Structure 1
């Protein structure tokens, strides 16, 4: 399965709307694509976290409801 987002893409976390940059990607036999995103959390901390492809979107789009 190909990746939807390239490395260094700016993406937004769908639920929180926090935006960051894709720093890594992973694909697994038993799961979909995942992205390691470095982003600024709502409380001002710099955070790194893994997200499934359906949990993020391009930063220019509105958050999913």
Structure 2
């Protein structure tokens, strides 16, 4: 991949659930897919943080 798919601070949505959040961390690897740490509001209203691959996210 040429550069990471998302920047810190990008607004994103989880592709399967459409829950929305912000990229707060990124991890780039030599031999694995890049990962993005996202703070988002879960469907039940909780604020949560978790790691996702670029394929799991879309820009908002």
Moved >4 Å (runs of 4+): none
When normalised by structure 2's length, the TM-score is 0.92
Unaligned runs of 5+ in 1: 60-65
When normalised by structure 1's length, the TM-score is 0.85
> How many residues align structurally?
59
Equivalent residues in 2 for 1:3-18, closer than 5 Å: 3-18=4-19
TM-align CA RMSD? 0.8
